Amino acid sequence: MASNPLAPPWLREPADANALAPGLWSRTVHREEGAIVVGGVPVAELAERFGTPLYVVDEAEARERAVEVRSALQRAFAEVRSAARVYYAGKAFLSIEVARWMTEAGLNIDVCSGGELAVALAAGVPAERLGFHGNNKSLAEIDRAVAEGVGAIIIDSLQEIERVAEAAERHGVVQRVRLRVNSGVHAHTHAFLATAHEDQKFGIALADAADAVARIRSHAGLAFLGLHCHIGSQIFGADGFAESAARLLAVHKELLAGGDVPELNLGGGFGIAYTAVDDPAPIDLLARSIAETVAAGCEDLDIPIPAVAFEPGRSIIGTAGLTLYTVGTTKDVTVAAQDDGETAVRRYVSVDGGMSDNARPALYGADYSARIAGRESAAAPALVRVAGKHCESGDIVVDAEYLPGDVAPGDLLAVPATGAYCWSLASNYNYLGRPAVVAVKDGAARVIVRGETEADLLARDAAYEDGSTRR
């Protein structure tokens, strides 16, 4: 049993509350003279130069993970005499620099808005290496995607068939498209992260795919690539992908009777570790399992193995990121731990960020870990809850963690695995500026996304005239 009865069952009191659990941190992270170093740069130096909160991205880790994921998938499908096409899911975290890292690592880019499309194009990504998602693409977004020569538009509804076809005719091109379908496979993840069940906004029912593809093929300006399905996010095993592939391949075979179906897109969603008890399967194992399942399914159906596309994001950028905070206040709260009246103490450690820089805990109860980053301590572990500074009781960064009991105001705190869906979900709640993103590599640090100042925030207010305007 956990030492503090307020701790969740999975959280064990560590022998050393300074230890950096493997798998949660980028591979360059270690301690030197007690302090955390990432990418060869001490965190105290980062905090002094750029302030906190601060998103820190280990460039080497991001690039290496991109190559590892791409290579694992391509190697696995080459072994079954097929090919894998890998797109980086830009929604996880996209900036001009990150888009360049991904394309230099041999990946394509998946975007799902006009803004993400603009970032990828500004990075110099060739349009043919882009896939464009979205359940409600505007007419302007569709028109721009077609005009720019985006490699594939993922059709998400029947209305989009006509809209994309009209844009292709207007620009005199043949636009390649995929059709997003719902396989009915329910990933073992949070309800908000499961995206292939029937009652949700993405895609069309698998049973309706044949009619939709017939409509696509009726347009001379559209070229059908294949079916697309995304079963969810933060998935640790291959079973869901295997079942989804089996269901899609049955329809894939039917569609072959009407023309070429060169590929199958199984989406992304590969999970990462956020806590010491998380145990995602290695990408090599996942890739081999999925490839073997697809090959076996095609053999059973007596059809050629298509090229298979994937859209990983979190599994590439997630552990490359960490967020630095400064502790502002601490307070101990006595809580009734059991019905018999027994009490226990939980320590609240409040930091200078919160739900504006990491919405995931408030959005769907995501768990994170934390460590004192600027020093080591011999103090006994204490159960803490890392809270943000926003006017919301649900503004929690880390719900439960053991830190050295002498954690105090002024300490630097590092939260690992924040590379995905933290900056991209960031907001200005309570008028906090979004933090800067700093890339570190080989002992050097540089800003890749500027942090917002109060002047930036005020500049958007139409009533603001200059820095001294008051009424």
Helix (H) or strand (E) holding 75: helix 59-79
- Confirm if 6 and 336 have CB atoms less than 8 A apart: no
Let me know if 391 is a catalytic residue.
yes
DSSP 112: -
- Confirm if 249 and 287 have CB atoms less than 8 A apart: no
List the catalytic residue out of 112, 229, 298, 391: 391
Spacing of C-alpha 418 from chain mean position = 9
C-alpha triplet 129, 131, 136: angle, nearest 5° = 155
Please report, for residues 104, 126, 148, the alpha-carbon distance to residue 107 in angstroms, rounded to integers and kept in the order given: 7, 12, 19
Rounded Cα gap, residues 284 and 32, in angstroms = 32
- The β-bridge relationship of strands 396-404 and 381-387 is antiparallel
- Confirm if 230 and 154 have CB atoms less than 8 A apart: no
Q: Which of 238, 270, 280 is nearest to 22 (CA)?
A: 280
**What are the residue ranges of helices labelled H in 350-410?**
360-364
Rounded Cα gap, residues 395 and 354, in angstroms = 6
Active site (catalytic) residues: 391
